[in-house]
Amino acid sequence: MRITNKKCLGLIFIGVGGLLALFHAWSPGSSSRVDIRSRQRSRIKTLLEWKIQDITRGYREIAYHIKEEVSSRLAQNTCICLADEETFQLPFSNLLFPRVWAHKLDAAFLDSHPDPEGVKRHRTQEYNSFKRRSYSPADMLIVAEANSPLQYPIQGVEVRPLKTIIIPGLGLKEETKSNHMVYLTAAIGTFDVAAMVDNVSVKGEGEKHIILSSPHLSALNRQLQFVTYTNTVFNPKTADTVDFATEGHHAFFTIKVGHGTVPKLYNSGYQTEYNISALVTIATKTFLRYDKLKNLIDSIRQYYPTITIVIADDNEHPQPVTGPHIEHYIMPFRKGWFAGRNLAVSQVITKYVLWVDDDFIFTANTKLEKMVDILEKTTLDLVAGAVREVTGYTATYRHIISVEEGGEEGDCLHIRNGYHHIIEGFPNCVVADAVINFFMARTEKVQQVGFNPRLARSAHLEFFIDALGSLHIGSCSDVIVSHASKIKLPWGKTDAEKAYNKFRYSLSRADNNIRNEVFYFQNRFKCLTSH
């Protein structure tokens, strides 16, 4: 009998172990780790840059003659703060002959700062971090070496609107013959040459179609190193498709046309350790729960006494919420959840914003430094923590979102529990598409996505659906905030709690119709599937 029992227990343990192993194997992302920490350079990028240098160094021995009217339009990458000189003074001369004025921001700011070198170091550090976050391999210059026999840039060619550049990497590699010829055709720009090479014929200078020919292949290739492109149709963000051809061969490449991204850097002070009060603002929205809001503020002040708290309040009869480092904004009655989020986030001036619900409670495990650390050291735009309920259960609420093309009737939105992969160097953190309602994010990135103010009562995933493709999102289980208890006996609820539950949980047909309209019309979905 004992032997039989032992065998049964052994089979049970084996079965449980097998189930655990299967669960581990099926857990999304549990077996993969991806390094998303910011890198200065990659081996591939360095290799490609050397290849470009090898291509452009060719034919140096062939002479050329600069065309000043074209080369003067090329970007010098050395902007100078220079004002027009005042040549004469007449009544109303500033109106008739307006002069360019100049204001040297570096001198104006640094001369009055107690630590100018520290500010410059911090500014450089912030800018380098911005460049690492905004860099995309799709922006890298890649030249297709002549296999066709045309040589041309595959990607990475950019020009500012209505400006001029030299097109890098053009070349022709073919057997010697009596005459070698190529031509280029554009749609929203013109071609020219910044210098002329002897024994090369150029036709169509300043036009959309240019022809270059020479009896000497080396001279033609040297001339191709001076071909310029000028954008002629203003658009802040578009592209021109260039047709590059020779006899019997066509190639196409794009030139991106657009303004560069203006960096938005935050001067939080050069620190060896994170100054949370200078880096982070806490934002929340409150409605009919001033008691919960007071508990939240008291818990924050226990650990972060000087951090700024921004409160959006759409109560019908607002109560004063005062104290140091508190900003309390009153909204129209029942303006709504996402409208309150928009208001609160719009008032944040720090690099990061931490979103919390008004019934959260900070504990010793609510380490904002950990969130700042991962945002500073990775390419993530938003990182969530975990919420611990009164029952002891800790929720992370991680979802994967995908959009499947569906033709003329619209696309399909798929939402699944899980995450993509673990983050290398941060074993408690993963990458996901939607996370719990306790997160820290780069302020300007959240402001760019925004919150749809039509979603007044029940909305959460909608923000992350709008952010799909815009925000790089993570979730860490080792930064934990507590959740105030929602378990109340019916006769123990206050009038405010009863009113809150009535507004919060009794969604009308109109509310559901708005949500359906947002998904169907605004987001062009025809179907939603979810766990």
* Same structural domain, 212 and 286: no
Q: Does a structural domain hold residue 36?
A: no
Query: Where does the pLDDT of residue 93 fall: very low under 50, low under 70, confident under 90, or very high at 90 and above?
Result: low
Mean pLDDT computed over every residue of the chain:
84
* Residue 467 DSSP code: T
* Final residue in a domain of this structure, among 227, 258, 289: 258
The span from the CA of 213 to the CA of 116, in Å, is 56
Task: Map residue 244 onto helix, strand or coil.
Answer: strand
Query: Where does the pLDDT of residue 117 fall: very low under 50, low under 70, confident under 90, or very high at 90 and above?
Result: confident
Query: Where does the pLDDT of residue 108 fall: very low under 50, low under 70, confident under 90, or very high at 90 and above?
Result: confident
CA triple 366-367-369, angle to 5 deg: 155
* Residue 100 DSSP code: P
Give residue-wise pLDDT tens across range 41-64: 565 566 666 666 666 677 788 888
Tokens representing 302? 């226990």
The span from the CA of 345 to the CA of 343, in Å, is 6
Query: Where does the pLDDT of residue 33 fall: very low under 50, low under 70, confident under 90, or very high at 90 and above?
Result: confident
CB 457 within 8 A of CB 336: yes
* Same structural domain, 306 and 427: yes
The candidate with the shortest Cα–Cα distance to 349, out of 382, 310, 375, is 310
pLDDT higher than 60, residue 3: no
For tokens 């081996």, the residue is 43
* Same structural domain, 282 and 252: no
Q: Does a structural domain hold residue 402?
A: yes
* Same structural domain, 347 and 398: yes
* Same structural domain, 188 and 51: yes
CB 270 within 8 A of CB 125: yes
* Final residue in a domain of this structure, among 258, 284, 302: 258
Please state the rounded mean pLDDT for residues 83-89: 69
Q: Does a structural domain hold residue 220?
A: yes
Strand partners, 211: 183, 203
Domain range spanning residue 521?
276-530
pTM: 0.76
The span from the CA of 7 to the CA of 154, in Å, is 67
* Same structural domain, 152 and 223: yes
The candidate with the shortest Cα–Cα distance to 281, out of 293, 266, 264, 292, is 266
Torsion angle, alpha carbons of 338, 341, 347, 351, to 10: -120
CB 506 within 8 A of CB 413: no
